Amino acid sequence: MNEYALELHFSENLIWVFTAFVALVLLVLGAGILIMMRINRYKEEQRRQIRAQWKDLLAEMLMEENVGEQDLRLPPEFEAALQKPFVRRVLASELVRTQQSLRGNMNETITAVYNQLQLADQSLALLHSRKWHRKAKGIQQLSSMGQYQVAELIVDLTNHPNLSVRNEAQLGMIRLEGPDGLRFLNSLQHALSEWQQFNLLHQMQLYTGVELPDMDGWLLGSQQSVVVFAIRLCRLFQLFGYAGQIEGLQRHSNTAIRREANQCLHHWGLTELYTEEMLRKAMATPLAQPLTA
């Protein structure tokens, strides 16, 4: 009976210790969550204050004529604030966000202000971050602001293990180099998702009337998603000169490639069994502009 009582007492103590441990863990987790929430609220309030402080000054700078041809003179308090990394990160993000909502010459003005404030160093620090979301943000900022000197750094990231980083790097190459930025396809190691192909094609639509790189290597390559993407490029830009290669892809072993080739030729009005004379005429047709519809 005594042994049973001892075992019962030991079990009760063990349960009590386990319960106390779980309660302590939950208490620590709860405290950690509350601290993180307070930190995030504090940072968001700081961002709001920075935007409010700089709003009028940035608007005045953006309205200046030839802003890129003269040195900006900031009030002393703004000069001091600009030395703080957090302020620089907020300003860089704000300028990129503003640029994405505008078109035309205003984009050039925003880029000039970004350069005048020397925010590229801050964006470059994000690019070199080990955290994927910061790295992707750095790519977006540098490519959106036309920092062509970092193109080789960005092209190396088009095969990054993280999906968001490599997607942003691929889009960034087109922002920086236009159609020539598609050179990343030559060494692509990861398949292009349907969503990423849509984004890349949407970005490519900005380059009407620009000569595209040679498609043969992509159409005849071993990376199946690149072949599909190249066919879609040919269809979008009406590159009839590649009708012969695309006709041959109707007999490819991959179902997606066969389907895309068939849809492209059908869109062009060429049937699956079109004649050699139709092919000759198609290949003699000059390169056309991208479709607008």
DSSP character at residue 68: G
- Tokens 């040919």 belong to 234
Query: Could you give the 3-state DSSP secondary structure of residue 66?
Result: coil
pLDDT at res. 285 = 52
Percent of the chain with pLDDT over 70: 80
For the residues of 190-228, what is the DSSP string, one character each? SPPPHHHHHHHHHHHTT-TTPPPPP-HHHHTSS-HHHHH
Nearest to 225 by CA among 258, 190, 198, 253: 190
Residues constituting the chain: 293
Count Cα neighbours of 86 within 13 Å in the Cβ-side half-sphere.
10
C-beta atoms surrounding 268 within 10 Å: 19
pLDDT bucket at 289, cuts 50 / 70 / 90: very low
Q: Report residue 293 as tokens.
A: 């519809």
Query: Could you give the 3-state DSSP secondary structure of residue 4?
Result: helix
CB 201 within 8 A of CB 236: yes
Domain extents for the chain? 192-293
Q: For residue 226, give every residue at least 6 positions away whose Cβ sits within 8 Å of its Cβ, in sequence order, or none.
A: 185, 188, 192, 218
Count Cα neighbours of 119 within 13 Å in the Cβ-side half-sphere.
27
C-beta atoms surrounding 284 within 10 Å: 9
Q: Is residue 91 scored above 90 in pLDDT?
A: no
pLDDT at res. 169 = 97
Average pLDDT for residues 35-48, to the nearest whole number?
Answer: 73
pLDDT at res. 112 = 84
Nearest to 165 by CA among 175, 152, 155, 174: 155
Out of 192-206, 243-257, 266-280, pick the least confident.
266-280
Out of 55-64, 208-217, 245-254, pick the least confident.
55-64
Higher pLDDT, 128 or 39: 128
Q: What totals of helices (H) and strands (E) does the chain contain, helices first? A: 14, 0
Q: What is the mean pLDDT of the chain?
A: 83
Higher pLDDT, 288 or 149: 149
pTM score? 0.75
